């Protein structure tokens, strides 16, 4: 059983195709002839205006944006995360059995959001737990840059040496992990340390040195490199976008019926 450790909030990240249901043309024609009406159908089932409205109402009750936010899990134990993710699974399960999903378009949008959750978001949350509870990962965080800005790479390497040594221990464990997301994060973190952050520190030193000598100079400030994130094939923002589309489609269906 994984140890009950609290997560490092600095490391935890702030978080693919749908299945298209195919109906034969003949089936659609027959359903229209025998069932009649203007409702959307799938396999002979008709979706009423009340079904669409209820589905949209249920979606609005869910706080998916909160469910995929890293801070929600930062203080939880492994069991706490399992329990929370299980509750979210139930939310999706309840939506999946709704009558409104007899509508093909709505079902396709739902499948897309569900696949995001199962294949990317949920695995990434578990991966982030593994990363954030590593004993050396805190050394990979730089809360300040000033003391590490040096005139050349050798000086920067020397200034970062003690932190980098401990950080690389974590990186090596991540890269060797059987968890694909953790392994990918380890590779991204190695690049961040070996290339991105050191280039930024060197450019920053030159920038501030030139600015000090010539305060009126029009210089472009170096852009701080983005910390690598623990994420699956689809990111948190991708999932929120797909879920927003599902929500928008449900609203449209409920209004036009």
Report which DSSP code applies to 55.
H
- Compute the average pLDDT of residues 72-84: 89
Tell me the pLDDT tens digit for each residue of 44-56.
Answer: 468 998 999 999 9
For residue 257, what pLDDT band results from cuts at 50, 70 and 90? low
pLDDT value at residue 7: 55
Residue ranges covered by each domain of the chain: 1-257
Least confident of 30-39, 76-85, 139-148, 230-239: 30-39
Beta carbons of 197 and 225 less than 8 angstroms apart: yes
Q: From the centroid of its chain, how far is CA 206?
A: 35
C-alpha distance from residue 10 to each of 7, 64, 142, 196, 227 (Å): 9, 22, 10, 18, 10
**Distance between CA 11 and CA 171 in Å, rounded?**
13
Q: What are the residues facing 11 on neighbouring strands?
A: none
* pTM across the whole model: 0.75
Tell me the pLDDT tens digit for each residue of 2-13.
Answer: 544 555 555 554
pLDDT value at residue 68: 74
- Compute the average pLDDT of residues 209-233: 92
């Amino acid at each position: 059983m994984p140890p009950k450790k609290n997560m490092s909030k600095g490391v935890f990240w702030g978080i693919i195709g749908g299945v298209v249901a195919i109906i034969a043309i003949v089936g659609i024609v027959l359903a229209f002839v025998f069932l009649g009406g203007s409702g959307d159908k799938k396999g002979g089932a008709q979706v009423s205006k009340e079904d669409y409205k209820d589905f949209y109402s249920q979606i609005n009750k869910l706080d998916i944006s909160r469910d995929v936010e890293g801070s929600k899990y930062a203080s939880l134990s492994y069991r706490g995360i399992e329990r929370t993710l299980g509750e979210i699974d139930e939310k999706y399960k309840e939506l999946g059995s709704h009558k409104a999903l007899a509508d093909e378009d709505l079902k396709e949008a739902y499948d897309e959001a569900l696949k995001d959750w199962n294949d990317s978001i949920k695995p990434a949350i578990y991966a982030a737990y593994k990363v954030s509870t590593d004993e050396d990962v805190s050394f990979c965080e730089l809360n300040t840059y000033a003391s590490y800005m040096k005139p050349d790479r050798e000086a920067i390497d020397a200034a970062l040496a003690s932190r980098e040594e401990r950080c690389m221990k974590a990186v090596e464990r991540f890269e060797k992990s059987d968890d694909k997301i953790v392994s990918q994060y380890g590779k991204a973190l190695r690049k961040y340390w070996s290339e991105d952050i050191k280039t930024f520190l060197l450019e920053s030193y030159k920038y501030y040195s030139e600015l000090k000598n010539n305060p009126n100079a029009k210089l472009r400030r170096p852009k701080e490199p983005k910390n690598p994130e623990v994420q699956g094939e689809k990111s948190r923002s991708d999932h929120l976008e797909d879920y927003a589309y599902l929500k928008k489609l449900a609203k449209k269906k409920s209004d036009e019926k």
